[in-house]
Amino acid sequence: MSGLRLLTVGGVIAYRALFNWTTPGMFVGTLLVGPLFQLLFFAYLGRQLQVADDRFYIVGNAVLAASLACVFGGTMAVGNERRYGTLGHVLLSPRSRTAIFLGRAVPYAGNGLLIAVTTLTGGALLLGLRVPPGALPGLALALAVGSLSCACFGLALGAVGLRLRDIWVVSNVSVAVLLLFTGVNVPAAALPGWMAAAGRFLPITHAAEAARVLAAGRGIGAALPAIGREVAVGAAYAVLAAALLTVFEAESRRRASLDTL
Amino acid sequence: MGIAVEAEDLRRTYRSRTGWARARRTEVDAVRGISFSIERGELFGLLGPNGAGKTTTIKMLNTLLIPTSGRARVCGYDVVADTREVRRRIGYVFGGDRGLYDRLSGLDNLRYFAELYGVPPREQKRRIGELLDLVRLTGRERERVEGYSRGMRQRLHIARGLLHRPEVLFLDEPSIGVDPVAARELRGAVADLAAAGTTVLLTTHYMAEADELCDRIAVIADGAIQALGTPAELRARAAGRVGTREPTLEDAYVAIVQPS
Ligand SMILES: Nc1ncnc2c1ncn2[C@@H]1O[C@H](COP(=O)(O)OP(=O)(O)O)[C@@H](O)[C@H]1O
Ligand SMILES: [Mg+2]
pLDDT one-digit tens code per residue, B200-234: 999 999 999 999 999 999 999 999 999 999 999 99
Nearest CA in chain B to A96: B116
pLDDT at B237: 86
For A85-114, b where at least 16 C-beta lie within 10 A, e where not — what string? bbbbbbbbbbbeebbbbbbbbbbbbbbbbb
pLDDT at A22: 78
- Structurally, chain A folds into a number of domains equal to 1
* H, E, C per residue of B238-256: CCCCCCCCCCCHHHHHHHH
Q: How far is the CA of B221 from the centre of ligand 2 (A)?
A: 12
Residue A13 counted as domain residue: yes
Residue A197 counted as domain residue: yes
Pairwise CA distance, residues B61 & A201, whole Å: 43
Q: Is B50 in the pocket of ligand 1 (CB under 6 A)?
A: yes
Q: What value of ipTM does the predicted structure carry? A: 0.93
The predicted model scores a pTM of: 0.92
Domain span holding position A68: 2-255
For A116-149, b where at least 16 C-beta lie within 10 A, e where not — what string? bbbbbebbbeebebebeeebeebbbbbbbbbbbb
> Which residues of chain B, if any, have pLDDT below 70?
1
pLDDT tens-digit profile of A121-140? 999 999 999 999 999 999 99
pLDDT tens-digit profile of B87-125? 999 999 997 789 999 999 999 999 999 999 999 999 999
Domain boundaries, given as residue ranges, for chain B = 90-165
Q: Is B149 in the pocket of ligand 1 (CB under 6 A)?
A: no
- Above 80 in pLDDT, residue A261? no
Task: Provide the 8-state DSSP code for B230.
Answer: -
Residue A179: how many other CB atoms lie within 10 Å: 18
Nearest CA in chain A to B64: A253
Sequence-distant (≥ 6) Cβ neighbours of residue B87 within 8 angstroms: A92, A93, A94, B62, B63
| Residue pair B252/B207 in contact by the 8 Å Cβ criterion | no
β-bridge pairing B168-172 and B199-203? parallel
* Maximal CA-CA distance, chain B: 60
| Residue pair B91/B167 in contact by the 8 Å Cβ criterion | no
pLDDT at B1: 64
| Residue pair A259/A83 in contact by the 8 Å Cβ criterion | no
Residue A225 counted as domain residue: yes
Pairwise CA distance, residues B34 & B223, whole Å: 8
Q: How far is the CA of B58 from the centre of ligand 1 (A)?
A: 11
β-bridge pairing B216-221 and B224-229? antiparallel
Chain A residues with beta carbon closer than 8 angstroms to that of B87: 92-94
Pairwise CA distance, residues B168 & B92, whole Å: 9
Question: For a pLDDT cut of 70, what percent of chain A falls above it?
Answer: 99
* Maximal CA-CA distance, chain A: 59
User: Quick one: pLDDT band at residue A1, thresholds 50, 70, 90?
Assistant: low
- From B31, B46, B56, B205, the mutation candidate for ligand 1 (largest count of ligand atoms within 8 A of CB) is B56
- The CA dihedral of A124, A129, A131, A136, to the nearest 10 degrees, is -10
Sequence-distant (≥ 6) Cβ neighbours of residue B171 within 8 angstroms: B93, B158, B161, B190, B200, B201, B202, B203, B204
Pairwise CA distance, residues B258 & B235, whole Å: 15
pLDDT at A166: 86
